[in-house]
Amino acid sequence: MTDNGKNEQTAKKYEKYVKKVTPTHSLPLNMAKAFLVGGLICVLGQYILNTAETMGLGQEEAGSWCSLILIFLSVLLTGLNVYPKLAKFAGAGTLVPITGFANSVAAPAIEYQKEGQVFGIGCKIFTIAGPVILYGVLSSWILGVVYYVMQLWR
Amino acid sequence: MNERKGHQSISFGEEVYIISGASVVGKKEGEGPLGPCFDEVEKDPLAGAKTWEQAESTLQHRAAVRAIEKAGIKNTDLRMIFAGDLLAQCTASAYNLAQLDVPVYGLFGACSTMGEALSLAAMAVAGGFGEYVMALTSSHFASAEKEFRFPLAYGSQRPLSASWTVTGSGACVLAGEKSGARITGITTGKIVDFGLKDSLNMGACMAPAACDTICTNLQDFSRQPEDYDKIITGDLGSVGQQILFDLLEKQGYDIQRQHLDCGMLIFDDAVQDTHAGGSGCGCSAAVFTAYVLPKIVSGEWKRVLFLPTGALMSKVSFAEGQTVPGIAQAVVVEHVPQEN
Amino acid sequence: MDYINAFWVGGLICALAQILLDKTKLMPGRIMVILVCTGAVLSAFRVYDGFADFAGAGATVPLIGFGHLLYQGVRDAVDESGLLGLFMGGLTASATGISAALIFGYLASLIFRPKMKD
């Protein structure tokens, strides 16, 4: 009766069957939760932006303060073990905002402190943030090259 | 006389008994439906140690010491220990066993390790190679999350098919001297791979292996499911259980009345939010020693097929897009009436 | 009004990402990478400027805003220093966010201990 999975067709068939019998979270409900929490985080961001601007800061500076404060709050909530609980509820609502990025930096830093300053915290702090920074820098560089070439053309 | 049955099974003519079993679990397991059954519930997730890994070792050590005490022997009486855990290179076992000063075989069978350990220990006793032999496994939620998934403070949602790694350890001492539970046979599992890649649905990855081992056991021993009071899988969870029923039905077997799953017994999903059930090699070990073994000894269950299931993947195999093969190691445990 | 726009735009981006999270086997880290790259692309096609004016924090707080920031930094630096700007602008523009996350993350590792889930 064993099929060692070499037969791709049976593997596909089994996968399809498993998908059928495996319960999943309700997508609309999950989306609503993500919408709510993600939206609220953005509102908080907007509040910081507006406050910064009424204090006479420029748009760019206000944006920096906004990131800074949101990241601080996220790291704090991660350390206090609140962020993972919030994320369990909100899913992408806490993953997508910049606070999700901060969580992905703080969580491994806290977890891997036992493995040392350099190869524990130092390496693992980039486990998730590293790829985000790498591909962000790389994709903006590639697009920048296109922009640069187009500027030469003109 | 010991006898080979079919291609994968052994029937023990020589007498092999489980003379003691002990379990130590974490707080969440202690709050579960089986809470009162465990020998010890450790409320501190670090168990007084500095790291999750050391905590797992500590739990394992306590389970081993308790099983030795319950058996009424000294650790030096043990001829050998078969032990394993979920950490890379089985370090939880290594650091525990370094303190016990007993000859050791380290095992890795993922969550099926308790079945593997019991099988090998039973063979050692039946073969006359050890008067007292221990089977011992452990797992820890935090060390497993760290090893296989995300740091604990990382925010993520678990799918409903996901299982919750049990923090705990179980130990059994096997010997030739009579007790209420006798291991009469084993069926060694084959690795079965249906090509599934979803490590967050381990029940589905392991169910085909469980089905294979159950069918083989029934055929090798010429039995029907009804010949067992219970058929108890390790950690298939609710999703894996459904799949196992479906797969067995195709083979012409119906085990719905006999089937229990350690992962589904140890947690109450409705209250504890564990989703599909418990998992890890501490799961089947703790449930077997705390819940299954006493019922066999008391005679409530006369004959039980106990088969821990394992999903054989690593971080690397997952990253490289490999499938998750499954395995299930079966042990037949029977009640022995006490003479006086 | 700006609060309402920030709420529904930011919320909508999260809700769409939730589809990716639930319907594909993509790990959260990959989704973050996808968002940042998407932001850079949208920015390069000049979709982002009007969008950010309209939605405010709803456009800048989600990680696609991070991609936008990176590309915008590269573009401005190219305007200013040409070829060299390609290698300067991105990280300069995103310096606050990256530094803050790393520094606060590190400090958190000094203060907080890993906690068990229950």
- For B204, name the nearest residue in chain A, comparing CA atoms only: A18
- For residue A40, give the amino acid letter: L
What local confidence, expressed as pLDDT, does residue B340 receive?
Answer: 60
pLDDT higher than threshold 60 for residue A1: no
Residue A5's pLDDT band, with cuts at 50, 70 and 90, is very low
Are both B104 and B209 inside the same structural domain? no
pTM more than 0.80: yes
What domain count does chain B have? Answer: 2
Domain boundary among B157, B175, B193: B175
Average pLDDT value for chain B: 96
Q: Which of B143, B175, B207 is the last residue of a domain?
A: B175
**Which residue among C7, C14, C32 places its CB closest to the CB of A34?**
C14
Check which CATH number belongs to the domain holding B239 and give it. 3.40.47.40
Q: Are residues B190 and B133 in the same domain?
A: no
B57 lies in some domain? yes
Is C23 an 8 Å CB contact of chain B? Answer: no
Residues B102 and B31 in one domain: yes
- Chain A: closest CA distance from residue C104 (Å): 7
C8 interaction partners in chain A (CB closer than 8 Å)? 39
B190 with B216, same domain: the answer is: yes
B47-56, B136-145, B219-228, C42-51: least confidently modelled range: C42-51
For residue B131, pLDDT beyond 50: yes
Q: Strand B326-328 relative to strand B163-165: parallel, antiparallel, unpaired?
A: unpaired
User: Which stretches of chain C drop beneath a pLDDT of 50?
Assistant: none
* Nearest chain A alpha carbon to C94: A64
Q: Is residue C7 a part of any domain in this protein?
A: yes
Q: In the prediction, which pLDDT does B1 show?
A: 85
The pLDDT value recorded for residue A3 is 47
Q: Are residues B165 and B216 in the same domain?
A: no
> What are the structure tokens assigned to C21, written together?
């999270």
| Paired tokens of C86 | 């390609």
User: What domain range includes position B164?
Assistant: 3-175
Interval B309-330 mean pLDDT: 94
Neighbours of B244 (CB within 10 A): 28
Q: Which residue of C has its CA nearest to A105?
A: C105
State residue A8's pLDDT score.
83
End-of-domain residue from the set B140, B175, B210: B175
| Spatial CB neighbours of A22, under 8 Å, sequence gap ≥ 6 | B159, B160, B161, B201, B204, B239
The answer to whether C21 contacts A92, with C-beta atoms less than 8 Å apart, is yes
**Distance of CA A114 to CAs A104, B49, C114, Å?**
18, 12, 10
| Mean pLDDT computed over every residue of chain A | 94
Q: Is residue B192 part of a domain?
A: yes
Query: Given a cut of 50, is residue A2 above it in pLDDT?
Result: no
Residue B204 sits in the same domain as residue B171: no
- The rounded distance, in Å, linking the Cα atoms of B163 and B238 is 9
Would C18 be classed as within a structural domain?
yes
- Same domain, yes or no: B83 and B103: yes
| Domains in chain C, number | 1
pLDDT tens digits along A55-66:
999 999 999 999
Which residue range is the domain that position C28 belongs to?
2-111
Give a yes or no: residue B340 inside a domain: no
Kindly determine whether residue B142 and residue C118, on different chains, have CB atoms separated by under 8 Å.
Answer: no
Determine the pLDDT at residue B199. 87
The three-state secondary structure class of B166 is: coil
Residue B255 has pLDDT above 70, yes or no: yes
Q: Which of C25, C112, C116 sits opposite B45 (nearest CB)?
A: C116
Residue C95 lies in a domain: yes
Could B142 and C28 be called an inter-chain contact, meaning their C-beta atoms sit closer than 8 Å? no
In a domain, C116, yes or no: no
Q: Is residue B157 domain-shared with residue B233, that is, in the same domain?
A: no
Q: Under an 8 A CB cutoff, do A45 and C60 touch?
A: yes
Of C3, C57, C107, the CB nearest to A66: C57
Contact status of B340 with chain A (Cβ, < 8 Å):
no
C-alpha B310/C-alpha B203 separation (Å) is 9
Specify whether B110 is located in the same domain as B18: yes
pLDDT band at B155 (very low <50, low <70, confident <90, very high): very high
pLDDT score at A88? 95
Shared domain for B22 and B84, answered yes or no, is yes
Give the pLDDT confidence score for residue C48 in this predicted structure: 87
Rounded mean pLDDT, A133-146: 97
Please tell me the distance from the alpha carbon of residue C69 to that of residue C57, in angstroms, as a whole number.
13
A81: closest chain B residue by CA: B153
Which segments of B129-171 does DSSP mark as H helices, in order? 141-148
- Residue A6 pLDDT > 70, yes or no? no
Chains in touch with B (≥3 Cβ pairs < 8 A): A, C
pLDDT (tens digit per residue) in B168-185: 999 999 999 999 999 999
**Is there a domain that residue C60 lies in?**
yes
How close C23 comes to chain A (CA, Å)? 8
Q: What ipTM, to 2 d.p.?
A: 0.94
- The β-bridge relationship of strands B163-165 and B168-175 is unpaired
Tens digit of pLDDT for each residue in B114-125?
999 999 999 999
Predicted local distance difference test score (pLDDT) of residue B338: 84
Q: Assign B244 to helix, strand or coil.
A: helix
Whether residue B10 is found in the same domain as residue B132: yes
Q: Which chains would you list as touching A if contact means 3+ CB atom pairs under 8 Å?
A: B, C
Tokens, residue B38: 């465990």
Average pLDDT across chain C, whole number: 94
Counted across chains A and B, CB pairs separated by less than 8 A come out at 108
Nearest to B198 among C25, C28, C117 (CB): C25
| A23: contact with B, CB 8 A cutoff | yes
Give me the mean pLDDT over the B67-78 stretch: 96
Q: What is the pLDDT of residues A57-110, one digit of tens each?
A: 999 999 999 999 999 999 999 999 999 999 999 999 999 999 999 999 999 999
B92: contact with A, CB 8 A cutoff: no
Residue B156 touches partner C, C-beta closer than 8 Å: yes
CA distance C66 to C90: 10
Same domain, B150 and B9: yes
Instruction: Output the pLDDT for position C25.
Output: 78
Pairing relation of β-strands B163-165 and B277-279?
parallel
H runs (alpha helix) in B237-303:
237-250, 262-266, 269-272, 281-287, 293-298
Which residue among A2, A25, A110 sits closest to B212, beta carbon to beta carbon? Answer: A2
Is residue C118 included in any domain, yes or no?
no
Inside any domain, residue B147: yes
Q: Residue B44 domain-assigned? A: yes
Reduced to 3 states, what is the DSSP secondary structure of residue B30? helix
Q: How many Å lie between the alpha carbon of B155 and the closest alpha carbon of chain C?
A: 9
Q: Which amino acid is present at B91?
A: T
Tokens of B139: 């797992």
- Listed residue (B288, B84, B289, B55) closest to B167, CA to CA: B55
